[in-house]
Structure 1
Amino acid sequence: MKRLIVGIPIIILVILGSGIFFKPALTFFATKALERAFQTSDVHIASCRFAGLKQLAFCDIRIRKLESFDIKIKQAVIVNSLSSLLNRRILKFKLEDVSFGPLALKELELSHISIHIAPRKVQVLGDLSIPQIKYQKAKIGPLQAKLKIDDKVLYLDYLRAQIFNGKADGQVALNLDKEMNYQVTLNFTGLDIDRFIRDFDLEERFQMTGALSGEVSLRGSGATIQQIQGDLSTSQAGGKLTITDQRFLDNLARTSRQPLDILVESFKNYYYNIGIIKLGMEEGDLILDVRLDGEAGMRHLNIMVHEFNLRRR
């Protein structure tokens, strides 16, 4: 009994001493692992700490590549147990307070993680959950997906999310190399057009109601979107459109050779019951081909957003 009483403090001191010794080493190895994953990027981890016997946290992480991306993570937490480690599993992995350019999220969680190690290859599987993602004023979430990392490619399959009062599902493929190339395919159902306009502060340019559904695919590298293709259509209920952007109306009058006052009136409280929107990209500019049909006739708009990318404007 006396040996046990004397031995407990010694064991605690050994554990604490090991923690002090291992922290710099763990931070070093974690930094090197991220540098291998994000090649030619600057990686910095401020510190690491043990949160209880089963948790290891890395704090104030930054991964950046000039003119490409800048990822900031307040804390990354690994939750483990001895049995899970022996079975090559991680109980839970959490990221807290993450920012990636204009994207921000309070929490990201990966659970039911399994790790398969083979010569020159590591495969990671898990369930991804994100309560909410913010892009400027827009809010996306909750989001769930099946995550797989295989041969330096990160896949998100069976992705599901709430967005603009509607739903999105699809898949994502992201190359974890120096270029960070990605491909995304999403199917949307019931996107609220008015919510989209309000979230992106477009009310002073135009007002529009209705719901959109369809498919959008894009590919890019880092914050740069290289290609977008999409076909969206409105619901049978249709909606209402009013354009108030004077500059847009002036340009439309000039290109269409129609009197400005007639154009202003034709896009004031215009009710449509059929709407088709095609998305494309040309030399970095987003092209929206909008065709609407209603009792007052058809309306055709060609809208261009210059230098469209994921960087904060």
Structure 2
Amino acid sequence: MRNKIFILIIAAIVMASIMALSGPAAIFIAKRQLKNTFKGSIVTIEQCKINPLNSIIFSGIEINEPSSYNIKCEQISMRYDLYSLLTKGIVEFSASGFFGGKVDGNIKITLGKSPAYVADINLRNIDLDIFVKDFKLEKKMQVTGRLDGNIFIKGAGSRLKEVTGNLQAISPGGELTIKDTDYLKNMPIKSGVSWEDLVASLKNYVYNIGALKTSLENDNLIFTVSLSGETGKRNFTVVLHDFKI
């Protein structure tokens, strides 16, 4: 028991020494890790503040993969106590300005040849308009409204293994227009509904109840959308093919 305590103390001292590096050094390490995780991306981090014993705060984060996404976040705060971090690999985090809203949760990291991680994430007041722009979906759709919900992510190294999530629209809802008519050709059409009626039904559609489910299948990130408004229900799916981080 004494040996374990001694090892933890030594590890804590070493870790505190490493984490006491200057802000620029911490930014360099974080950017390198993000680039390794988000393959092909350009990563920007403007500032970093470190308290070696309990927190790291990064500000002005941007992860840009020109063909797929340009994710921005005002600030990410990672908080921990050294005992939980060293023995369980658990880090709590919060983020502001993430798709216009806030995020918090925890990540459990298991070190090894290919480090594994499990993340429970809570999302609050996520702006769908910003989400569409950050994932470069403007040519496919236009959406307004905000969401609350949670997402579970599991991965190892740079590969995602599982993504599941459930989000609900915040009252009073929002408005949807599908711009990509080629995408609409793949949607099932009910008997008696013309192509023109289908296209019209997904333009300037106002919803007051909405649900968004996320999942990962064969490296495809899938968003299943269910909406309800005065003019009826709308259900459709958006797929980001070969989504990898």
Band of TM-score, shorter chain: 0.7 to 0.9
Identity, % of aligned pairs?
A: 28
Question: 2:184 is paired with a residue of what secondary structure?
Answer: helix
1:279–1:286 contact (8 Å) kept in structure 2? yes
State the aligned residue count.
213
- Determine if the alignment matches structure 1 residue 274 to structure 2 residue 202: no
1:132 maps to 2:63: no
More strand by proportion, 1 or 2?
1
Distance 1:107 1:182, change over 3 A: farther
1:209-268 deviation per Cα after TM superposition (whole angstroms, max 9, x unaligned): 0001100111112222111111101111110000011221111146x5653211100101
The 8 Å contact of residues 253 and 260 in structure 1, kept in 2 or not, is answered as no
Matches within 5 A, 1:73-152: 89-90=16-17, 92-93=20-21, 94=23, 95-97=26-28, 98-99=31-32, 100=35, 101=39, 102=41, 104-106=43-45, 109=48, 111-113=50-52, 125-136=53-64, 137-147=70-80, 148=82, 149-150=85-86
Change over 3 Å in CA distance of 1:150–1:105 after alignment to 2? farther
Partners of 1:205 and 1:217 lie apart in 2 by 26
How is 1:117-196 mapped onto 2 (pairs within 5 angstroms)? 125-136=53-64, 137-147=70-80, 148=82, 149-150=85-86, 154-196=89-131
User: Does the aligned pair in 1 maintain the 2:143–2:175 contact within 8 Å?
Assistant: yes
TM-score by length of 2: 0.77
- The structure having more radius of gyration, on CA atoms, is 1
Alpha-carbon separation, structure 1, partners of 2:15 and 2:237: 54
Aligned residue type for 1:132? G
Q: Which runs of 5+ in 1 are unaligned?
A: 1-84, 114-124
Q: Tell me, what secondary structure is at the counterpart of 2:153?
A: strand
Determine helix, strand or coil for the equivalent of 2:172.
coil
Q: Which residue pairs with 1:63 in the alignment?
A: none
SS at match of 2:185: helix
Q: Distance in 2 between matches of 1:109 and 1:140?
A: 13
* Amino acid in the other structure paired with 1:164: F
State the distance in 1 between where 2:128 and 2:182 align. Answer: 22
Tell me: CA distance 1:143–1:267, structure 2 relative to 1, closer, same or farther (3 Å). Answer: same
Aligned-residue CA RMSD (Å): 2.6
In 2, distance between residues paired with 1:204 and 1:162? 24
* TM value normalised by structure 1: 0.61
